[in-house]
Amino acid sequence: MSATPRPSPASGESREARESDSTTAPGSDPATASAPAAAAHESAGASGAPKRTIVSWALWDWGSAAFNAVIVTFVFAPYLTSGVAADSAGGSSALGLVTGIAGLIIAILAPATGIRADRGGRHRLWLGVNSGLVVACMLGMFFIKDSPEFLWPGLLLLGLANVFFELAEVFYNGMLTRISTPTTAGRISGLGWGLGYFGGLVLLMLLLVTVIQPEVGLFGATDEDGLRYRVVAVAAAVWFGVFAIPILIFAPREAVSPAEARERESMFSFVTRWAADFRHLIRRIVALFKTDRETLKFLAASAVFRDGLATIFAFAGVIAAGSYGFDGSEIILLGVAANLVAGVGALSAGWFDDRFGAKTVIVVGLVCLIAGAVPIIVSGDKTVFWIAAMWLCLFVGPVQSASRPFLTRITPPERAGENFGLYATTGRAVSFLGPLLFAAFIALFGFQRAGAIGIMLVLAAGLVLMLFVRGGAALRENVEHVRG
C-alpha cells in the first residue's frame, strides 16, 4: 500500500469526494462553502499523517488478529468447548451464553464510551488501556487446564476479552478520521484490514508448525493438561501486545480545549458520567433520525450485512467439519487460506474504494457473497467447498474494509468515537439474525448446508438496506450539515 502512487484528483480520487467537491449551496461562495470541509480535513490530517503513524495504526490490526483468529475462531475457543468442557454440547451452549452477555455489555457501553473519548480527546489512552486488558485476559488463559472445573474461568476470561476488545476497536476506528482524508480513508482502512488478515495468517502458520502439530512443541508444549493450547494463548497475547505498541507511541496528539480540561478535572463519578453520556446517546439517535438519516440508514444496513459476514466466519469451520469431513488440521489450514484471500481482497478494495466509492464496493461485494453461497447449498463436494469458501473470503474483506471509510466520510472528526460507538452497538444489536436463520434452515430442510440459505437472506437484507443509503455528494453534505 505504501508503494502505491497517490492518484491524481482527476483519476484516483474517490468518486464520492469528487462529486461532493463540485456541490455548493446555491448562491454561495465556493471558498466559503468549502470551509467546513477544509476544517474537517485539517483536523483529520489533511496535510497527510506521517507514514509511520499510518503504518503504526495498521499494525494494531495486524496484532489484533491474534485475538480474532487464534483465540476466538480457530484455536482457544474450540479448546474450551471440546477440550475443557465435560461435553462439547454443554461447552458450546455455555460459550454462547457468555458471548451473548458480553455482546449486551458492549451494546450498553460502546456508544457512551465513544462519546467520552470524543469529548476528552482520549482515543490513544483508552485504546492502550483496553488493548492492555485484552492482553492480560489472554495471558490469564495460560492457567486454563483441560478439566471441566476450568471451563467457567476460561469463558469468563474470553467474555471479558471480548468486551475490552470491542471497546478498543471503538477508539481504534475513531482514529481513522484523524489520520486520513475522505480521499485516502479507503486505502488506509484497507491497509488495516489487509494487515489484519495477513497477521492472522502468519500467526496461525507459525503456531501450526511450532506448537500445534509437533508431538512436543515449543516450550515443551504437549497435550498434557492442555499445555499446547495454553502456550498458544500466551504466544497470541505477546503478539498482540508487541504490535499494539507503535500506535500508542505515534498516534496523533489530540488537542484538548480548556473547557474539556476542566471537565476532566471534575469527573469524579464514573456512573454519573456514563449515565449522562448514555442519555446523550439516546438524544443523538433521535437527532440522527430527524436531521441525519443517511448515517442512521447506513448504521442499520451495516448492522445487518456485518452480521452476515460474522456468521460466515462463525460457521465456516462447522460446515467444513460436518458436511465436508475436514479434520482439525484441515480446518486450521482453511483458516490460514481464508485470512490470505480475505487480506488480498481487503488490500485491493482500498484502491476500488477510493476510485469508485465505498458504497459501490459494499454493494458489489454483497452481491458476490450471495452468489458464492449457492454452490455450498447444492454441492457436497470438498473441492467445490474450497472454491466457494475462497470466493466468499475474497469479498468479505472488501465489504468489511469499505464500511469504515464510508462511515468516516460522513462523520465529523469530533464525533468519530460517538458514531463508531453506534457502529459497534448496532452491529451487536442484530447479532442473533445470522445464527438463528442458519439453524432454522437446517431444521427446515434437514441438512447442514441448508444453513447457508439463512446467511444468504441476512446478506440480501443488508444489501437491500444499503441500496437506500445515498453515496456521492451526500457524504460531504452530511459532514457539512452535521458540523453546521
Residue 331 maps to a domain? yes
How many Cβ atoms are within 10 Å of 162's Cβ, its own excluded? Answer: 22
Please state, rounded to an integer, the average pLDDT across all residues of the chain. Answer: 76
Number of domains in the chain: 1
CA distance 398 to 334: 19
Q: Is the pLDDT of residue 235 over 90?
A: yes
C-alpha 306/C-alpha 399 separation (Å) is 8
Residue numbers of the domain that contains 171: 48-255+271-483
Mean pLDDT for 288-292 is 78
**pLDDT tens-digit readout, 371-390:** 999 999 998 899 999 999 99
Q: Which residue has the higher pLDDT, 363 or 320?
A: 363
Angstrom distance (rounded) from CA 162 to CA 155: 10
What is the DSSP code (8-state) at residue 70?
I
Whether 31 is covered by a domain: the verdict is no
**Domain annotation covers residue 14:** no
19 and 475 in contact (C-beta within 8 Å)?
A: no
Alpha carbon distance 342, 368 (integer Å): 14
- pLDDT of res. 321: 66
Output the nine-digit C-alpha cell for 12.
484516483
CA distance 413 to 118: 9
Q: How many Å is the Cα radius of gyration of the chain?
A: 22
pLDDT of res. 368: 94
Quick one: pLDDT band at residue 282, thresholds 50, 70, 90?
confident
Percent of the chain's residues with pLDDT above 90: 24
**Helices then strands, each counted (H, E), the chain:** 21, 0
Residues belonging to the chain = 484
- Has residue 18 been placed in a domain? no
Nearest to 170 by CA among 112, 83, 89, 237: 112
What is the Cβ-side half-sphere exposure of residue 26, based on CA atoms within 13 angstroms? 0
CA distance 465 to 410: 17
pLDDT at position 327, please? Answer: 67
pLDDT (0 to 100) of residue 96: 67
pLDDT for the residue 165: 93
**Sign of the dihedral defined by the CA atoms of residues 399, 240, 43, 303, in that order:** positive
pTM for this structure?
Answer: 0.68
Which pLDDT belongs to residue 115? 64
Q: How far apart are CA 228 and CA 238, in angstroms?
A: 16
Rounded to whole angstroms, the Cα distance separating 220 from 383 reads 36
On whether residue 28 sits in a domain, the answer given is no
- pLDDT(243) > 70: yes
Quick check: is 30 in a domain?
Answer: no
Report pLDDT for 30. 36
| Amino acid 119: pLDDT | 62
At 292 the pLDDT is 75
Q: Is the pLDDT of residue 397 over 60?
A: yes
Measured CA distances, 330 to 49, 227, 233, 235, 317 (Å) = 42, 21, 20, 22, 9
Whether residue 188 contacts residue 179, with contact meaning beta carbons closer than 8 Å, is answered with yes
Q: Indicate whether 43 belongs to any domain.
A: no
Mean per-residue pLDDT for 36-59? 62
pLDDT at 342 (0 to 100): 79
Question: What whole-number distance in Å separates Cα of residue 379 and Cα of residue 376?
Answer: 6
Q: Is the pLDDT of residue 152 over 90?
A: yes
340 vs 197, 328, 390, 400, CA distance in Å? 6, 19, 9, 15
Cα–Cα nearest to 83, from 356, 413, 328, 360: 328
pLDDT bucket at 447, cuts 50 / 70 / 90: confident
CATH number of the domain that 398 lies in?
1.20.1250.20
Contact 196, 338 (CB under 8 A): no
Tell me the pLDDT band of 464, cut-offs 50, 70 and 90: very high
